[in-house]
Amino acid sequence: MSQAIGRNTGVPEVTRASGQWRVNWAFTILEAVLWIWSILVCVPYWARYDSDYAYGWAVPFGMFFFLWRRLGAQDAAFWQRCGEEGQGTWRLSPWLLAIPGLGLFPLEVYREEYSQSGIVLWGINLAKIAFSMAGAWWLGGRRLLVITLFPLLFFLTAVPWPAKIAQPFQQSLMIGVAGVVSETLLWLSVPVSTEGAVLHLSRGTVGIVEACSGIRSLQSVLMMALAVGELLWISTARRVALVALAIFLALASNFARTLTLCWIVEHQGNEAMHSAHDLVGNIAMYSLYGVVFLGGLWLARGAKDIWPRKDAGSWRERIGMLSWGHVPDFRPLLGVTLAMFAGVHVWYGVLQWKARPQTKPQFAALMGSDSGNAKQEFDPAVWAQLGATDGAVIDRKVVDAPLGRVSVHHLFWRPSAMSRTALHHRPDVCMPGSGWKQEGAVGETEIAIDGHPLRFMVFHFSRGDTRALLVWNVMRNGQTVDFDFSDKFTSLPEKYGMLPTDRHMLGVELVSCFVPYQKGEPPLDIARRELPKCFRFEPYAPHR
């Protein structure tokens, strides 16, 4: 053992040798429980909800590796000074510390009910990081806090952005990329017109959806730039330069990818573009990672390397030297925290046992030569983003329709991870990504299908010289869902409630009718007349 460990530091050596960190076992367990919670609440996004965050799986491993390497590289004197400099203690009743645990009940309910709300996830993770930073301050003062700060904050690169930030930013990127690519194609003498994020070329169209907006490469390359800077132990100024370079390259990579796909459409057609879509995307993405890593290697010239030392004693000895006497008694808070988690999920378990979810659609498309309906295929990228169990796009020719046709959509989500995010797909949120601008307030109308009156929302849009009317209905377990359309980026319709419900365990079904026109009054009568000709309807009966 290093001689530094045996010096008189004001803390009894026998206490250090006995492993004083074990005394406050509640703090250690609470730290582990909260980190597990922070990671688990993000896993659904990494695994299912949003492929933009698939890189998140690597972030916790990177965080713990960077933490292990930074702490392991410190000498025995560092750990001794940490033990001397640990700050503060809690002098009031430890039961006062347990009060925040009571807030976990509504917070966990809100997270479950509102399908991984980005604001809630950021609240959970910021609170967790703040708790870890306070722990570092208690255990080792400013010295330990500074060492652990970057690994703790690095985890935030894997936390999904709140919808109020992500959706406007995504749409701005989509429209911005389309505009720059359009100008470049015109400069190259390629005829093209742009409607929002859709590029119309002579042999086809290229639509930039959310997954292709560039936000995926921007998010992942930001994480990678920070990781490379830490891995290669680059100076702070050079890390800032690497992050700036990564952001520029991400935007340039997405521009090059979209331009390439447009070039393929113009010279080989839509089918060739769809065949090359994934290959072009993968080349752009992995080339971007490679260039960022090479840029990091270039900026790391002359940087020293750090790795764990072997002359500072064992990890048990190092941890035992920290100022554990300054850590408050967290046993009441740990007990309340575990009780709150158990209470929420036992309640949800009972609700799930009692639920009678809709597992098959109420609407069945009417097809055949005498129906006048022609089934169209969903765009693969759009279908993957929706994650629906079943669906159909129906193109219906209508003689007296303003532009000779109407378009009908039907989607059904069986209860699953994806059904929790189904209600995010709203016309006032999604249509602007295709260049449509919403006009006026949202109205209502009633349309009878197979003799069953259903309530539909009525939207009005415009794009260039074309206008459009959209009637839209979404149901959960056969009941129409009411939305508050006053806030465009309110992800879900329900008001916040502190008690668990079974609504996120139920099936979701959506049907809409889109009627484009150019002049005159909105053709609401045509939508009301033609939509019932597209479906059979059998209402869902939960039999509760």
| pLDDT, average across residues 410-439 | 83
How far apart are alpha carbons 499 and 497 in whole angstroms?
6
Q: Would you say 472 and 514 are in contact if contact means Cβ atoms under 8 Å apart?
A: no
pLDDT on residue 2: 38
Neighbours of 324 (CB within 10 A): 23
8-state DSSP, 447: E
pLDDT on residue 37: 92
pLDDT on residue 171: 76
Q: Would you say 415 and 359 are in contact if contact means Cβ atoms under 8 Å apart?
A: yes
Q: How many residues does the chain have?
A: 544
Kindly indicate the confidence band of residue 509, based on its pLDDT and cuts at 50, 70 and 90.
very high
Query: Which range has the worst mean pLDDT, 16-20, 160-164, 464-468, 522-526?
Result: 16-20
Q: Would you say 104 and 340 are in contact if contact means Cβ atoms under 8 Å apart?
A: yes
Kindly indicate the confidence band of residue 213, based on its pLDDT and cuts at 50, 70 and 90.
low
3 Cβ neighbours under 8 A, 6+ residues apart:
none
Backbone dihedral region of 530: left (phi > 0), alpha (psi from -120 to 50 degrees) or beta? alpha
Strand partners, 205: 200
Q: Would you say 453 and 446 are in contact if contact means Cβ atoms under 8 Å apart?
A: yes
pLDDT on residue 13: 42
Neighbours of 179 (CB within 10 A): 14
pLDDT on residue 31: 92
Kindly indicate the confidence band of residue 32, based on its pLDDT and cuts at 50, 70 and 90.
very high
| pLDDT, average across residues 393-418 | 90
Query: Which two tokens mark 214?
Result: 């560039």
| pLDDT, average across residues 37-51 | 83
Q: How far is CA 120 from the centre of its chain?
A: 12
Select from 225, 257, 218, 220 the least CA-distant residue to 240. Answer: 225
Q: Look at the block and give the residue holding tokens 């530091």.
A: 9
pLDDT on residue 449: 93
pLDDT at 24 over 60: yes
How far apart are alpha carbons 224 and 460 in whole angstroms?
42
Measured CA distances, 145 to 65, 87, 138, 381, 519 (Å): 17, 11, 9, 44, 65
Which class is 363-537 in CATH?
Answer: alpha beta
Q: Which stretch of DSSP H or E encloses residue 145?
A: helix 118-154
286 Cβ neighbours under 8 A, 6+ residues apart:
none
Q: Would you say 258 and 181 are in contact if contact means Cβ atoms under 8 Å apart?
A: yes
pLDDT on residue 1: 36
Q: What is the pLDDT of residues 55-95, one digit of tens each?
A: 899 999 999 999 999 999 998 889 988 888 877 666 778 88
Neighbours of 302 (CB within 10 A): 7
Kindly indicate the confidence band of residue 517, based on its pLDDT and cuts at 50, 70 and 90.
very high
How far apart are alpha carbons 484 and 482 in whole angstroms?
7
| DSSP structure string for 463-489 | ETTEEEEEEEEEEETTEEPP--TTSTT
How far apart are alpha carbons 307 and 231 in whole angstroms?
10
Q: What is the pLDDT of residues 158-203, one digit of tens each?
A: 998 887 777 777 777 888 888 888 888 889 888 888 776 778 788 7
Query: Which two tokens mark 433?
Result: 């990504």
How far apart are alpha carbons 508 and 419 in whole angstroms?
6
Q: What is the pLDDT of residues 267-296, one digit of tens each?
A: 887 778 777 877 887 888 888 899 999 999
Q: Parse the chain into domains and list their residue ranges.
A: 3-162+308-354, 164-299, 363-537
More confident residue, 473 or 117: 473
| pLDDT, average across residues 257-269 | 86
Distance spanning both ends of the chain, measured CA to CA: 69
Q: 393: helix, coil or strand?
A: strand
How far apart are alpha carbons 35 and 90 in whole angstroms?
22
247 Cβ neighbours under 8 A, 6+ residues apart:
218, 221, 222
Q: Look at the block and give the residue holding tokens 């000895």.
A: 317
Q: Helix crossing, 331-354 with 25-44: angle to 10°?
A: 30
pTM above 0.85, yes or no: no
Q: What is the pLDDT of residues 89-123, one digit of tens each?
A: 667 788 888 888 888 888 888 888 776 677 888 98
pLDDT on residue 119: 83
Q: 413: helix, coil or strand?
A: strand
